[in-house]
Structure 1
Amino acid sequence: MLTLVCLPSSKSHTLPFAHRRNIARLALNPRGNLLLSVDEDGHAILTNVPRRIVLYHFSLHGEVNALAFAPSGRHFAVATGRQIEVWRTPSTPDVGDGDLEFAPFVRHRLYLGHFDTVQSIQWSADSRFFLSSSKDMTSRIWSMDAEEGFAQTTLSGHRQAVVGAWFSKDQETIYTVSKDGALFVWKYMLRYDAPEDAEETDESMQWGISERHFFMQNNAHVTCASFHPESQLLVTGFSHGIFFIHELPDFSQIQNLSISQNDIDFVAINKTGEWLAFGASKLGQLLVWEWQSESYILKQQGHFDAMNTIAYSPEGQRIITAADDGKIKVWDVNSGFCVVTFTEHLGAVTASEFAKRGNVLYTASLDGSVRAWDLIRYRNFRTFTAPSRLQFTSLAIDPSGEVVCAGSLDSFDIHIWSVQTGQLLDRLAGHEGPVMSLAFSPDGSTLVSGSWDRTVRLWNIFARTQTSEPLQLMSDVVCVAVRPDSQQIAVTTLDGQLTFWSVSEASQQGGVDARRDVSGGRKMTDRRTAANVAGTKSFDTVKYSADGTCVLAAGKSKYICLYDVQSGVLIKKFTVSVNLALDGTQEFLNSKLLTEAGPSGMIDEQGEESDRENRKDYTLPGAQRGEGARKTRPAVRVPSVAFSPTGRAFCAASTEGLLIYSLDTTVQFDPFDLDITVTPTTTLNTLAQKEYLKALVMAFRLNERTLIRRVYEATPVQDVPLVVKELPSVYLGRLLRFVALQADESPHLEFNLIWIEALLSKHGRWMKDNKGGMEAELRSVEKAVRRIQAELARLADENIYRIEYLLAQPAEKAGETLALDFGVKDVGDEGIDEVMVDGEDDSEGEWLGFS
């Protein structure tokens, strides 16, 4: 998957398409409107970035090691193995003839000459030449078209593979950096074998080494490098996680910083040369560094081990993820960024749950502790442990927040602690196997536990006699969930059954045979086909929706299934991933990939690597999890799902990462209720005729944001209540979202508040009756109003003493003070006529009249 990150607004957006393999290379054209992404198999996708749509699919027939657009944007160069290909950039509707091409990818030329894999391609500023760097320890200069008097030139002299080569801004100098930390400066000079009195002609000139510099980083080697010709900055990343910034041609060091414990795999410099972006794939780190102010613009890191559990915060704005690496991360739903990371756990975190009231999170871990986290101050304020060392796997929190319960693998008892004192209150005995799932009913009267002893027990822990009602099932219980009205529980078992039980009657109300639904995808080691292997599949997690009408279930499969509780009908299946690099995503195996030693994808080829550093094996024999585990092909699975409290979204923890599915997605085009008479021109004509309601509805149908804003701002203030009153209810949610967005972006403070007041007063009753589908919009409006209130209060607090001081002064002295503070247009004998508020002269700002 591809994700776009907007650094100024600190938001990220995932593009609505995916490659069939892991993405290997990315390149953006100079205009910034075309993105070319290539996966490990050489399959390329050309994307229109502003509209976020796919234009073309194309195969480059091989693994791509380097990719770069020419500065002119008309061509791009691709390195596949030892050869380099230059292709013409396909035209787009906003460039060229205006129509998409039938055969868009046309190869311009093929370049051969290197003896090993090409690792880097860099173009000259005029797009006539490009440099290639290879593992054969050479760099070569190529011309895109045949140039008179130019011959392909080889730059040799390095002792290890060349990581990168670049032209200087004037193209008179070439810089090359090799893996062993050597920087060579190349100049166009007289040949060493030329006579002393020879003239400077093309025959007597050649590229030669004028200077040599070395980084001297002991055993560390250069993993990536980038050069910015305008500012002459060279940025290099090393295998020990340190990057250096040097200024060329003097090779003077400006900065060095340790940003990772592992290799820095990628580095990029933005167009102005102020921001440096680094990527470390092993730990999932993405960093953007502003070197002048020495500050982070962006610092993100994902889990480097499998995620186990997720939880939505009560207000639905944050998601908690916990993984085998012992880390707990808090993610912001709107921006997609990690807010804070907790690392106190010493083992894998297996369960997490929010308290129903307040910002308190509870987590259970295999290190034998249950911890409580304060998400306001971001601290661990309580730790619960058992008398003996246990591995906790399940967790449940009482709705009142007074009691926390946990189940473990080693002991078959349920441990209960007091949140206030942290003391162990009780141990519930009765299960004969590990307790794998716990859940409190929302009314707090019942604790539901599921165990591998094939029973679900209902505990009344707050009664005088702690009784338990056992429900017998046909197989080991994997997960339990309680409906929001506390009247029903959903149980998933190891035999692939999903059953529904009545809490009051302790009887089964319905069931679904989910083996066929959850099956899909065949692992490389499976002896049976994907259809026949269905008997071994089951759900690992199940959750009720906010209204209790649906359940969401997932497991060791590439599918997430949504069921209707009443009828047991499968409503929809969501495909988690189509990445063939994961085990269990393809339906049919390719017999060509089967070797005498087994499936080729399961064979560890690390020992065959050409570089000595890559041949080193740091894995531990038999390790299944943790940093030393042997990983050839990770299997696709969904260990946990969670519904948003609003019911408009759900999230899933998968092998690919944290996935969020939402109904509130913004689309480019909405075809419903649209006919040929609704166009931007007719909308503007309707607006000119002062039919504001009709123009607003037409703008919403076209779903063009600029058009909606134009109609919105053109509506007279006195007509706003009437327009809102007659607006069809189907557009209320969209108008609320738009007004909330305008309240954050536009300077028209009172105008936006008038719209909000009209919407709430005219349609408040309807919104209350349909709050299930309007909670997200109302929350965004509430946030906007609170922000405006806070800013106005701050502005008033800052200026109250200045205004009191000015009012207490005589007219002449007040005029002098204002002239110094604001800038005065006219100060006469009778006082101040007009005062400048927002600018320094008549051309900018706004003049306010003073008496």
Structure 2
Amino acid sequence: MKFNYKLHRLCGASYGTPSATGSNQLASTSKGSNIVFTRDGNSVLSPVANRVQVLDLLQHSCRTLPVEARSNIRRIALSPDDRLLIIVDVNYHAMLINYHRGVVLHRFKFKKPVRVMSFSPNGAKFAVSFGKLVQVWHTPGIRREFAPMILHRKYSGLVGDVTTLDWSSDSTVLLAGGKDCQARVWTVDTVRDYQPWTLVGHKKPLIGVHFESRDKTLAERDQFFGGTGNTGSTLTGKLIARCYTVSQDGVICTRECRKQDEDVGDEVDEVTGLESLGNSAVDFFSGGKSGTASDLPVECGVDQAHDLVNCRWGTTSRHYFSANSSTQDVVSTSYSAEHSLLVVGFSTGLFGLYELPSMSNIHTLSLSHSTIGTVSINPSAEWLAFGCPKTQQLLIWEWRSETYILKQSGHAYGMRCLAYSPDGIVVATGGEDGTIKLWNSQSGFCYVTMPKTHTAACTAVEFANPTVVLSSSLDGTVRAHDLHRYRNFKTYTSDIPCQFISMAVDKSGEVVCAGSAEPFRICVWSVQTGKLTDVLSGHMGPVSGLAFHPVRGTLASSSWDGTCKVWDLYKSDSTPETFENSNDVVCVAFRPDGNQICSGTIRGLLRFWDVDDGSLVCEIDGQKDIKGGRKMNDRTTSDNNASSRYFTSITYSADGTCLLAGGNSKYVCIYEISQQILLKKFQISFNRSLDGVLDELNSKNLGDGGPVDDEHDSADEGNDLAPHLPGAKRADDGTRKSRVEVLTTQVAFSPTGREWSTVSGEGLHVYSLDDDLIFDPMALTEAVTPGAVQANLRKRKYGMALLMSLHLNKYALVKSVIEDTPYDSIATVVRSIGQEHVGNLIQFISKAMEDSPHIEYYLQWCLELLQTHGLLMERHRGKYLRAFRALFRVVQSRYVDLKSICDDNKYSLDFLESQAKLLFTQETQT
């Protein structure tokens, strides 16, 4: 059995900070991070807790970058060429990441909160907010360096903290807005005679500042006024630049920078002399280059920073998004300078799409009942991305067709249980909100949310068959859901009110059992009729776990009374067999062959029992394996507090040799049963925003009254939209929060054995075998030529010849190699093909078989491909589905043709046979 599992995706949280799973814990009131599109606009980067999800909108797949921040992510920024990704968490720790490879290049820390961060359009620099200042840094290289972070300059002038910033299109001018309701315009490099301008006129903090593209500004001026007069606004002079500032109260101001006519003649002289030396000295670390791009349009041979010298800024227009700004605040904005489109997100869940500078409203739509924390627009201005931190919703909207490209959200208060479908493709999860969601384990997306029927939290979900999902809840019901019509078609209830905390379904899908917390009994129903057929009594505590025998109709149950019982459901007068444990039993599981039972107690002890004779086979003490992690309110260290660490969920591997166990700990362990050893353990999360991640707490955070929470998320960020209570001097809405504890509530192996999943406070963690590192023994070098392919064929090296031809990717060459391969060597050649070439080989075979007379020969190729690589194609169904469909279509068409020919031949033979018999009869008679 292989153990190179790694986290491939995190389901259940597409954006924001996931909710807690415990009923006594509240979700973190994080304001959420920003969403970023890649350069091609086909992928979205969405922060989830301390990880980054990459959602491919074309392939409809999701993956999680193999990096973790120290705490919840506050801001991310992607370079214009998609090479570098910068992540900053709520505690100001930052990481520089190679985006394509997912490798951390450098770690550093800012001294103050980072509320906004942006790369320059040319990618040479990036700017971050630094309290009331703005820092501009040189963009590091893609390789590892000892000190890659080089500070270019700090910019001051704002009285309040910086909340938003933007670059000019040529990367020479920087515009920032803050909580002081002002905006400031700086030049990135030193420009002689330039004085930074402060733009005022707002009454609320600025939410967005945006530069108009310089191309559009110059084109508008030259087209309508020949570049010499004014543009019809209240300001006179030559139009140089235009920007927009948006405040929280829904006011957008259009600002224009103009140069008076008498100053035009001195434009060229302003950039001569010492200025060129000054710029080169400033940009020494960037290779002597200025921050401008040479291919951008400029006027009089200078950039936009020099155009602003001796110019005046002024407000030309003012517009209002909402007439009632007291109930609807602007929370987020995004602007496409190339297409002049502005997207605005409001606190009421509305968003608006406007065309600037005319402020024409294109769309206004209500997406959610909660605040739209962030908005983003892709480079082609076709798709809009929205994130709602409170509900962890991520929405991608195509505004032209008015359709959703993607709409994902997790459970309202966290996940609690999971179950794999028999084929391992679908994962069903139950949440604290009582809803059932279905996830595609290959893509990581939720494709169905069942209509909410439970009125309390779900405690267990199971697949009765591939089309029926059963769920138990604390509301005292077990419900059956149809996966064809996506509805609840049967409800199973007890004769007396109770709360079900465990459930099991037999392998035939005919019987379902549920264990209750009070009274201590097990209810048995018929799945088809829905009738309560039996009630099993005998436990003296809550029934914490149930498991059916894989073959026989026996049921194993575990209880807090310290016993495990095995019941025979088809013998009414039989007495259950009891397995005594020294502590409360919280979980139980059957081995796949049904000859062994494993039980887990609150002391972290795993006991293995023989089913036939009831003897104890072995014990594994896992308390020391899962100990670790000190909570903020713990008065003892993690080493002395191991009593609360135990397994709450266990499951066997498909071969029955290993056991996967998870519970009240940050670790999930895999044990080898026969040798009673720990093979591997996985730490679910390293997020320090969760409780119980650190083994040792910093002594400076321990006060007289206990630990002091050093979470900067609420203290430094502040909630600008928090309501003021009457008579209160501070903004306090009365809500309280506690940290989410890191633990796992359930673990499960996939039926294929290629992956396993666990449910935690962050969502559904899917761990798969590491198939990313694919070894290709042959590279496309000068030695790989058609002549070399023919030479290998003459030497009877058919496998090597096929690999070379697949590298060259020429149909005629591949077809000749396939048809020259002997019939007896097909199996050996197919086994020599790696998974990186399987898809191409299937495509070539389907194309060659379409008009080939060698049907049996190509059918042998198809058979060997399915026998050798069938499991691979099933596991990566989305990757090979197109090629498999093409092959299936060709095989089916050849089957139809061959069947018609065979039928014609059969009819002809029957006719000839009848004619021969007739002639023979006539000759006999004569």
TM superposition score category, shorter chain reference? 0.7 to 0.9
Q: Which amino acid aligns with 2:818?
A: V
| 2:126 is aligned with 1:76 | yes
Q: Which amino acid aligns with 2:359?
A: F
* Aligned counterpart, 1:739: 838
1:439 to 547, 572, 576: 547
Q: Which amino acid aligns with 1:71?
A: P
- What is the correspondence of 1:696-845 to structure 2 with a 5 Å cutoff? 707=807, 714=814, 716-719=817-820, 724-727=826-829, 729=831, 731=832, 734-735=834-835, 738-740=837-839, 743=842, 748=847, 750=849, 757-758=859-860, 761-762=863-864, 776=874, 787-788=885-886
| 2:122 is aligned with 1:21 | no
Structure having the higher Rg: 2
What's the CA shift string for 1:746-783, capped at 9, x where partnerless?
9847489999855564588888xxx9x76846978995
3-state SS, counterpart of residue 725 of structure 1: helix
Structure 1, unaligned runs of 5 or more: 93-98, 618-627, 797-851
* Aligned counterpart, 2:204: 160
Question: How far apart are 1:33 and its partner, in Å?
Answer: 2.7
* Residues 269 and 609 of structure 1, relative CA distance in 2, 3 Å threshold: closer
Q: How many angstroms apart in 2 are the aligned matches of 1:591 and 1:710?
A: 67
3-state SS, counterpart of residue 838 of structure 2: helix
* Aligned counterpart, 1:352: 461
Question: How far apart are 1:414 and its partner, in Å?
Answer: 0.5
Is contact 2:667–2:682 with CA below 8 Å preserved after alignment?
A: yes
1:44 to 94, 115, 118: 94
* Aligned counterpart, 2:358: 250
| 2:494 is aligned with 1:378 | no
Q: How many angstroms apart in 2 are the aligned matches of 1:615 and 1:758?
A: 72
* Residues 303 and 756 of structure 1, relative CA distance in 2, 3 Å threshold: farther
2:155 to 86, 111, 120: 111
Structure 2, unaligned runs of 5 or more: 1-50, 218-240, 268-306, 726-733, 895-926
What's the CA shift string for 1:710-751, capped at 9, x where partnerless?
79974623145677433495x56x43x742476589984748
> Which TM-score applies when normalising by structure 1?
0.82
| 2:429 is aligned with 1:329 | no
Q: Which amino acid aligns with 1:161?
A: P
What's the CA shift string for 1:303-326, capped at 9, x where partnerless?
232311111110011111111122
* Aligned counterpart, 2:784: 684
* Residues 3 and 764 of structure 1, relative CA distance in 2, 3 Å threshold: closer
* Aligned counterpart, 1:341: 449
2:117 to 67, 74, 95: 67
What's the CA shift string for 1:23-49, capped at 9, x where partnerless?
111111112232222222233223333
* Aligned counterpart, 1:300: 408
| 2:749 is aligned with 1:643 | yes
Q: How many angstroms apart in 1 are the aligned matches of 2:844 and 2:482?
A: 32
* Aligned counterpart, 2:55: 5
* Aligned counterpart, 1:821: none
* Aligned counterpart, 1:847: none
Is contact 2:467–2:483 with CA below 8 Å preserved after alignment?
A: yes
Tell me how many residue pairs correspond in the alignment: 761
Q: Which amino acid aligns with 2:455?
A: L
Q: How many angstroms apart in 1 are the aligned matches of 2:840 and 2:475?
A: 45
Is contact 1:695–1:711 with CA below 8 Å preserved after alignment?
A: no
* Aligned counterpart, 1:224: 332
Q: Which amino acid aligns with 1:27?
A: A
Question: How far apart are 1:3 and its partner, in Å?
Answer: 1.6
The alignment yields a C-alpha RMSD, in angstroms, of: 3.6
Q: Which amino acid aligns with 1:633?
A: R
Is contact 1:602–1:633 with CA below 8 Å preserved after alignment?
A: no
* Aligned counterpart, 1:181: 250
Is contact 2:786–2:805 with CA below 8 Å preserved after alignment?
A: no
Q: How many angstroms apart in 2 are the aligned matches of 1:709 and 1:597?
A: 71
Q: How many angstroms apart in 2 are the aligned matches of 1:525 and 1:611?
A: 26
Is contact 1:395–1:437 with CA below 8 Å preserved after alignment?
A: yes
| 2:639 is aligned with 1:531 | yes
* Residues 743 and 725 of structure 1, relative CA distance in 2, 3 Å threshold: closer
Q: How many angstroms apart in 1 are the aligned matches of 2:120 and 2:694?
A: 37
3-state SS, counterpart of residue 781 of structure 2: helix
Q: How many angstroms apart in 2 are the aligned matches of 1:159 and 1:77?
A: 26
* Residues 300 and 603 of structure 1, relative CA distance in 2, 3 Å threshold: closer
Question: How far apart are 1:268 and its partner, in Å?
Answer: 0.5
Q: Which structure is higher in RCO with an 8 Å CA cutoff and minimum separation 6? A: 2
* Residues 709 and 644 of structure 1, relative CA distance in 2, 3 Å threshold: farther
* Aligned counterpart, 2:761: 655
* Aligned counterpart, 2:673: 565
Q: How many angstroms apart in 2 are the aligned matches of 1:754 and 1:561?
A: 50
* Aligned counterpart, 1:314: 422
* Residues 305 and 795 of structure 1, relative CA distance in 2, 3 Å threshold: farther
Q: Which amino acid aligns with 1:79?
A: S
Q: Which amino acid aligns with 2:72?
A: N
Q: Which amino acid aligns with 2:784?
A: L
Is contact 1:699–1:708 with CA below 8 Å preserved after alignment?
A: no
Question: How far apart are 1:56 and its partner, in Å?
Answer: 3.0
* Residues 739 and 793 of structure 1, relative CA distance in 2, 3 Å threshold: closer
* Aligned counterpart, 1:140: 184
Q: How many angstroms apart in 2 are the aligned matches of 1:256 and 1:741?
A: 46
Q: How many angstroms apart in 2 are the aligned matches of 1:462 and 1:613?
A: 62
Q: How many angstroms apart in 2 are the aligned matches of 1:110 and 1:217?
A: 38
Q: Which amino acid aligns with 1:486?
A: G
Q: Which amino acid aligns with 1:436?
A: S
Q: How many angstroms apart in 2 are the aligned matches of 1:309 and 1:252?
A: 48
Q: Which amino acid aligns with 1:4?
A: V
- What is the correspondence of 1:271-290 to structure 2 with a 5 Å cutoff? 271-290=379-398
2:318 to 208, 212, 215: 212
Question: How far apart are 1:54 and its partner, in Å?
Answer: 3.1
* Aligned counterpart, 1:507: 615
3-state SS, counterpart of residue 25 of structure 1: strand
> Which TM-score applies when normalising by structure 2?
0.76
* Residues 597 and 206 of structure 1, relative CA distance in 2, 3 Å threshold: farther
Q: How many angstroms apart in 2 are the aligned matches of 1:780 and 1:330?
A: 17
* Aligned counterpart, 2:906: none
* Residues 630 and 468 of structure 1, relative CA distance in 2, 3 Å threshold: farther
Question: How far apart are 1:251 and its partner, in Å?
Answer: 1.4
* Residues 205 and 593 of structure 1, relative CA distance in 2, 3 Å threshold: same
Q: How many angstroms apart in 2 are the aligned matches of 1:745 and 1:10?
A: 26
Is contact 2:873–2:880 with CA below 8 Å preserved after alignment?
A: no
Q: How many angstroms apart in 2 are the aligned matches of 1:794 and 1:153?
A: 73
* Residues 479 and 167 of structure 1, relative CA distance in 2, 3 Å threshold: same
3-state SS, counterpart of residue 516 of structure 1: helix
Question: How far apart are 1:661 and its partner, in Å?
Answer: 1.1
3-state SS, counterpart of residue 230 of structure 1: coil
Q: Which amino acid aligns with 1:149?
A: D
Q: Which amino acid aligns with 1:381?
A: F
Q: How many angstroms apart in 2 are the aligned matches of 1:64 and 1:206?
A: 31
* Aligned counterpart, 1:634: 740
* Residues 106 and 603 of structure 1, relative CA distance in 2, 3 Å threshold: closer
* Residues 250 and 563 of structure 1, relative CA distance in 2, 3 Å threshold: same
Compare 181-190 and 360-369 and name the one that shifted more.
181-190
* Aligned counterpart, 1:820: none
Question: How far apart are 1:115 and its partner, in Å?
Answer: 2.1
Question: How far apart are 1:793 and its partner, in Å?
Answer: 10
